[in-house]
Structure 1
Amino acid sequence: MSLPRSLVFLLVLSVVLGGASLYVGRRAAETFGLGVRGRKIMVGVPLASIALMILSRVLGLREVGQVAFTVLLALLISAVLLGAVDLVQLGARWIERLVLRRTSSAVATSPAPVEPVLATAAASGVAEPIVAAAPPEAPKAPERRVFLGQVAAGSAMVVGSTSSLYGAVFGRHDYVIEEVPLVLPGLSKKLDGYTLVQLSDIHLGTFVGEPEMRAAEELVRKARPDRIVLTGDLIDSDPRYAEALGRLVRRLAPLARDGVTAIPGNHDHYAGIRQAVAALEGAGARVLRNDGLVIGDARDGIALLGVDDVWARRNDPSNAPDLDLAISKVPADLPRVLLCHNPVFFPEAAGKVALQISGHTHGGQVNLGALRPGKLVLPYGYIEGLYERAGSRLYVNRGFGTAGPPARVGAAPEVTRIVLSAS
């Protein structure tokens, strides 16, 4: 019997966090000269947080999980920054040794200067040998370098802790409405200014509940949509939150003249695709899974398409995204807008649609300035904002909720207001 995906993920994550805990604990002890008790605390607190993280997921303990994840995110950021510090120090030591080796080699091969062997003592007139002074010993590591290493290591831990705390308390609720005006080739003047308001990656679950749903409702109201599009990962991982998704859709639907259209994401499949789709359709949303609809009329409208998630095929090949099937459901000569959860599908859609609207990436969710791990990990580097390929455009939404640690750093949660124009 295979282990559930979520359990496997938690086990792997626990191993990674355990290793990070030991590494950061050892470095903290070296940097701050901690005693035995301090070392135990530095390792024990993260290990206890791992246990609380798992417990909060199983039992839905929001506050306990928030604290545990904040500690563990601080640990991970600190481990990454400390690793960078250690690599720099290692490189500096290697360069220093290389320079010393070359200097020693140059001294050994140069001719020794001729020195007088005897000198006359002024007082006694007796010649005495002059003993040459011994060469100085190689200097030990300067105190300044040790101090700078301690400052760098300490700063890495401070940045890790403060970034995690900020992301958990403020960053994940620092919502913005992104205005995205886009020219849609072939758009009829009748639909000039048509507004799609996108919500993506809500992740309803332990850490996204009623307060976040109220915020989403208010932001969508301010965005004044003609149609609301939900682009997947609407439930985090537990089918029990399908009911909350239904409540959210019923609150959003009256805010848009043309109602709500939705597609699933990979987390909706993990949680239970039947429950997710039933909640959406029960609340009045139109769900597009390899399907399409016409906005406006068949002659002057927009073909709004939706495909299933690219990861869905791993569980069931019948759930694979099929853009050609979706295209076949609408008139062939209308401008096409595609809803697809994962932006990795864009190379396949480029040239077939005018615009693809996606989410999935969370904008990286945790970024530290120019350090954006998502760009290195995600295929094609589609992480947030606008991209172009083969005459088609892609917009990637940073998402509204969180997955994993309930925190955001350098990736503000967004609601996107896409205004389509004819020219």
Structure 2
Amino acid sequence: MKDRLKTYTPHIYATVFGLVLLTGMGGYMVYEGQSAEITVIEMEGAPNDIVFIADPHLKSGNLAFMSSVAEEINALNASVVLIGGDFVTSDEDDLSYQNVWAEIDAPVYAVLGNHDYKAGVHGLNGPAKMLAMQEADLSVDGYDVSMLQDDPLIDLAYGADVAAALEGAGVRVMQNEYELLNLDGTELMLVGVDDAWAGRADPPEVPETDAFTIYMIHEPGARADWDADLILSGHLHGGQFSAPGLEVIKDLGIVDIQGFCNQGETPAFITRGIGSSSMIEQDLRFGTPPEIVVINPSVPIDGADVMRA
């Protein structure tokens, strides 16, 4: 009996250690999923205090965190707030959660993402969307992603319900539209392109202007080299779980995951997002904390990661 205990004891210790490690790792991933960092982008000519977030994926488990994000945005004295899509995770999410955006004091503009149309969220449907994007025309003059509409899993009615819930919370949902804004004396031409994975992206004809121009589109891989000063996207969550090699892949120009993109002529920035599409009620992240982006803050922000475009 003693010999058997001697044999099993190291395995028991290893098992207990492994369980403690996994529990601790899981707890850390939940913690990081609710610990937003601020990234400052300094761009000449851009209006001050533009705040950009994406991918809230609202659900019961992160609703309190999103409310705290709204409070933080208010503390930043945002001139305008831009949200880059994926407001929901699944069709089981309560759309009344979107009322959290009414807590933001500044005007809020948004585009929808693939989750908001249930596009590419079922099993292998996501990889299928990436393959279908190979057939898309992403040139400025011939832009066409209509082939991605050929998907019976897309739910345009649900997308309309999400948009209605957002509008009810005071969010201006832009679906292939533009609007000229005046932010404290500086003009911003804001262009919102609808979701590409749902085949809905159809960039509008934008009049020539001297205004600083921002395009928003959810999937960064669906952008074109539009005549813009900046393109803002989300979708990728910064990888959500950092792993060795991700930054190397980005630096080699193979794929852009977060931050400023290496590909394309028009400056483009991919945010890590503010939520995640975890299949549990809690957001999980590791090495890629949630991100609030502030363009040209009028007051320095302590602890922010500053990038200059």
TM-score by length of 1: 0.52
Q: Which amino acid aligns with 1:176?
A: E
Q: CA RMSD in A?
A: 3.4
2:135 matched to which residue of 1? Answer: none
Where 1:381 maps in the other structure, the secondary structure is coil
Where 1:280 maps in the other structure, the secondary structure is helix
Given the alignment of the two structures, is residue 266 of structure 1 paired with residue 119 of structure 2, yes or no?
no
Deviations 1:167-196 (A, max 9, x none): 02x11111122212123xxx4xxxx64221
Deviations 1:21-71 (A, max 9, x none): xxxxxxxxx99547xxxxxxxxxxxxxxxxxxxxxxxxxxxxxxxxxxxxx
2:36 matched to which residue of 1? Answer: 175
Q: Which amino acid aligns with 1:269?
A: Y
* 8 Å contact kept, 2:58–2:93: no
Q: How does 1:127-276 map to 2 (within 5 A)?
A: 160-168=22-30, 170-183=31-44, 187=45, 193-209=47-63, 211-238=64-91, 240-245=93-98, 247-252=99-104, 255-256=105-106, 259-270=107-118, 272-276=158-162
Where 1:392 maps in the other structure, the secondary structure is coil
Where 2:267 maps in the other structure, the secondary structure is strand
- 1:400 is displaced (CA, Å) by 1.0
Residue of structure 2 aligned with 1:304, choices 190, 198, 220: 190
CA separation of 1:412 and 1:214: change in aligned 2, threshold 3 A: same
CA separation of 1:159 and 1:343: change in aligned 2, threshold 3 A: farther
Given the alignment of the two structures, is residue 365 of structure 1 paired with residue 240 of structure 2, yes or no?
yes
- 1:339 is displaced (CA, Å) by 0.6
CA separation of 1:284 and 1:165: change in aligned 2, threshold 3 A: closer
User: Greater helix share, 1 or 2?
Assistant: 1
Aligned equivalents of 2:39 and 2:270: distance in 1?
A: 11
Q: Which runs of 5+ in 1 are unaligned?
A: 1-29, 35-149, 314-318
1:77 matched to which residue of 2? Answer: none
Residue of structure 2 aligned with 1:355, choices 211, 216, 230: 230
Q: How does 1:272-283 map to 2 (within 5 A)?
A: 272-283=158-169
Where 1:207 maps in the other structure, the secondary structure is helix
- 1:203 is displaced (CA, Å) by 0.5
- 1:305 is displaced (CA, Å) by 0.5
CA separation of 1:161 and 1:329: change in aligned 2, threshold 3 A: same
Q: Higher relative contact order at CA 8 Å, sep ≥6: structure 1 or structure 2? A: 2
Greater Rg, structure 1 or structure 2? 1
Q: How does 1:41-190 map to 2 (within 5 A)?
A: 160-168=22-30, 170-183=31-44, 187=45
- 1:345 is displaced (CA, Å) by 2.0
Deviations 1:81-139 (A, max 9, x none): xxxxxxxxxxxxxxxxxxxxxxxxxxxxxxxxxxxxxxxxxxxxxxxxxxxxxxxxxxx
The sequence identity of aligned pairs, in percent, is 25
Aligned equivalents of 1:413 and 1:355: distance in 2?
A: 21
* 8 Å contact kept, 1:294–1:330: no
Aligned residues: 249
Where 1:178 maps in the other structure, the secondary structure is strand
- 1:213 is displaced (CA, Å) by 2.6
